[in-house]
Structure 1
Amino acid sequence: MKSKNLILLLFLLLFAGKTFAQQDSLLVDPQLVVEEPAYKAYDPLSPARAAFYSAVLPGLGQAYNGKYWKIPVVYAALGGGVYFYFRNDDEYDRYREAYKSRLAGRTDDEFSDANGNPIVSTNGLIEGQRFYQRNKEISILVTLGLYALNIIDANVDAHLQQFNVSEDLSLKPAFDFDRYSGKPGYGLSLNFNF
């Protein structure tokens, strides 16, 4: 009788251990769970906020959007426009001072040789002034255009971050074997899931 009870007890323990093991195996391993991609909630003021930040301080809207690599590009573009403005302004001042010196009757300007003979004529000095004045104005316009482009980029980037790109609509290359001929088939598959 004792041996039957012992066998029954061992059988119950093994059976109970097996049922608990099966229940544990039914639990989902957290590493195997595929999570849906986390999309940001739609914020209608986000594009306006990014544009405002970029208008206040160029590059701040790009930082708000998380596109930090664009900040050096923005500052290089704006810095280039400012650099060319000041360079053209310096050249304009050189030609302007030489022209004023010629009008005063002096021949010792930087565009004359050591004997006082002009290297650049007076008409050349006038044309140089016009050229560098035009380049200064173009530099201002280009810099303002790049500043506006910085604001537009921040605004559009904030709009596109809220655009939902899911796998429900996808276009992927497809590769399939023909079962009868054994030849490969190439193509595109368009998947549209509801």
Structure 2
Amino acid sequence: MHKIIFISLLLFTLGNHTVFSQTGTEAVLVAKDTLKSNDIDPLTPAKAAFFSAILPGLGQAYNKKYWKIPLVYGAIGTSLYFYIDSNKKYHQYRDAYKSRLEGYTTDDLAFLDNNRLIAGQKFYQRNRDLSALITIAFYALNILDANVDAALLQFNVDENLSVRPVLYPDNVTFKTNVGLTFNYQF
């Protein structure tokens, strides 16, 4: 009876390392997994997103993706530059139009008539608002990138599961074909 239980437990744990321990008259079977388990921290993506929310690019530094930091600052900085520039020109056109309504014509935009001043105000106001939305979008994309990148860093990628492109010759026409191979090793 004991031999049948022992053989069934041995077959059940096939592929795993087994360690036997004996205390008193009972035999205890301890099985250990053969695959190396990486510790997964479920808070890592949240930490990276929090760091990027506090200071753009800090989440990318937390993920050790330092090459993304100039991209983050370039995107946010460029859109912020266009916001500031459009806001300055909007106020310049608005102030020139207001001074025209008060009867003063001594401004930098004296060569423009009132319709052009109104059109300039609308143009720069639209560009300012669009630049503000783009700045907010790049800020949110920075946070999202840090979160997703931190989650994917913990993703288990090993050689047991792979999809690879393959070039293989056709046996009939001897032309080269392109395909994908899906490998799964137990």
Determine if the TM-score, normalized by the shorter chain, exceeds 0.5.
Answer: yes
Give the CA deviation at 1:175. Answer: 5.0
Q: Secondary structure of the equivalent of 2:66?
A: coil
The 1:86–1:51 alpha-carbon spacing in structure 2 relative to 1, beyond 3 Å, is same
Q: 2:152 aligns with which of 145, 155, 160?
A: 160
The RMSD of aligned alpha carbons is 2.7
Q: 2:87 aligns with which of 89, 109, 128?
A: 89
Aligned length: 150
The 1:189–1:83 alpha-carbon spacing in structure 2 relative to 1, beyond 3 Å, is closer
Identical aligned residues as a percent: 54
2:57 partner amino acid:
G
Whole-Å Cα distance in 2 between the matches of residues 76 and 38 of structure 1? 40
| Larger helix proportion of the pair | 1
Give the structure, 1 or 2, with the largest relative contact order (CA under 8 Å, sep 6 or more): 1
Q: 2:100 aligns with which of 102, 116, 119?
A: 102
The residue that corresponds to 1:136 in the other structure is: 128
Whole-Å Cα distance in 1 between the matches of residues 71 and 36 of structure 2? 29
Matching of residues 1-194 of structure 1 within 5 Å: 40-112=38-110, 119-172=111-164, 173=166, 188-194=180-186
Give the CA deviation at 1:38. Answer: 7.9
The 1:106–1:65 alpha-carbon spacing in structure 2 relative to 1, beyond 3 Å, is same
Give the CA deviation at 1:176. Answer: 7.9
Give the CA deviation at 1:171. Answer: 2.9
Whole-Å Cα distance in 1 between the matches of residues 121 and 72 of structure 2? 30
Give the CA deviation at 1:39. Answer: 7.3
Larger C-alpha radius of gyration, 1 or 2?
1
Instruction: Name structure 1 gaps, 5 residues minimum.
Output: 1-36, 113-118
Whole-Å Cα distance in 2 between the matches of residues 110 and 55 of structure 1? 41
Report the TM-score when normalising by structure 2.
0.71
The 1:120–1:163 alpha-carbon spacing in structure 2 relative to 1, beyond 3 Å, is same
| Larger strand proportion of the pair | 2
Instruction: Name structure 2 gaps, 5 residues minimum.
Output: 1-34
